[in-house]
Structure 1
Amino acid sequence: MTRLDAIDRRILAELQRDGRMTNQALAEKVGLSPTPCLRRVRRLEEAGIIGGYVAVVDQKAVDLPVSVFISIKLERQREEDLDRFAEAVSRWPEVMECYLMTGQRDYLMRVVCADLPAYERFLKARLTRLDGIASIESSFALAQVKHTNVLPLG
């Protein structure tokens, strides 16, 4: 595991806010010259701490305003059942996040779609066709109170 010092944390904080920032601008913000700053960024990338750079797209602006949180309970929690479920879900573009959980449910996922009929199609064509699902509970988000991709690095 790569040990992060205060400068690494500042670099990560700045890049989380603006991943398109030039190395020159980043170096100025964290108090380094450009060459050592770039070396640190490359080291963070190679260590897998920075996993990539993406554009954050507003789901409403691209006609996917509906977020559905789905709790799923499997009939059995054997490793092969868990693996089969995870493999299927990883192929579905509507699934934005999916977590293996403790507690009453086995999985919690967030799905985005255009409207209620689109969610119904997802449910019928994908989710309910998987073997081994005991129950599915859907909750529709009314409003997003907070969303961030910025980790609290301290």
Structure 2
Amino acid sequence: MDANGAGTGPARGPAPKNLRAVVDPVDRAILRVLAEDARTTNQSLAQQVGIAASTCLLRVRALRESGAIRGFHADVDPAALGLELQAMIAVRLAAHARGSMGPFVARIRRQPEVVDVYFVAGANDYLLHVAVPGTSDLRDFVAEHLSRDPDVALTETSLIFEHTRAVGRL
């Protein structure tokens, strides 16, 4: 359990389709504070949003159960793990693979190089954020896990020179 009375894993169950209906202004304030620092204690969180600590704990639990809070994590610099090269890889699935989107995501998200998977609109279907030790590892990842996949029609790789997390966007 963390200081907010919740585990550190992802939330259980599917998120509701309309989170706005279950998130009021106090919940939004809680989410903003936790997005800035998920290690904030329940007491500090309650003070920052102007509610009792017991109420805050109940609200955080409800936000986890609703799927509004998907989990708590440490924002680790991949370079600290020896993963010096990051890239965004746009992936377009073949027309015959439109029914295989779920299995594709299930396969690709298990790869240790994959940091995040984004389902996107536009010419491509997915953006993969990957982190690897170097260029040969990136080449191997693309060749082994994307180019050889019969469901993948096209990939386009963009190197990430620097990543800075935005602050105060919630």
Could you tell me the TM-score, scaled by structure 1's length? 0.84
Residue 52 of structure 2 aligns with which residue? 33
Count of equivalent residues: 151
Deviation at 1:73, TM superposition (A): 2.5
Within-5 A mapping of 1:118-133: 118-133=137-152
- Which structure's relative contact order is higher, taking Cα pairs within 8 Å and 6+ residues apart? 1
User: Could you tell me which residue of structure 2 aligns to residue 152 of structure 1?
Assistant: 169
Q: CA deviation at 1:151?
A: 6.8
Separation of aligned partners in 2, 1:13 and 1:142: 28
Matches within 5 A, 1:53-132: 53-132=72-151
Cα distance per residue 1:25-65 (max 9 Å; x no partner): 11111112211111111111121211221111111222112
Q: Highest Rg: 1 or 2? A: 1
Give the unaligned 5+ runs of structure 2.
Answer: 1-18
Question: 1:85 touches 1:130 (CA, 8 Å); kept in 2?
Answer: no
Contact 2:34-2:40 at 8 Å conserved across structures: yes
Gaps of 5+ in 1: none
**Stretches of 4+ moved more than 4 A in 1?**
none
With the length of structure 2 as denominator, give the TM-score of the two structures. Answer: 0.77
Cα pair 2:86 2:160 within 8 Å, conserved:
yes
- SS of 2:64's partner is helix
Look up the SS of the partner of 2:95 in the other structure: coil
Residue 87 of structure 1 aligns with an amino acid whose one-letter code is A
Q: Does 1:5 find its partner at 2:24?
A: yes
Structure 1 residues 75, 32: CA separation in 2 closer, same or farther (over 3 Å shift)? Answer: closer
Q: Is the alpha carbon distance of 1:106 and 1:38 closer, same or farther for their aligned partners in structure 2, counting shifts above 3 Å? A: closer
Report Cα offsets for 1:58-83 as digits up to 9, x if no partner.
11222112111112223315432333
Offset at 1:127?
Answer: 1.7
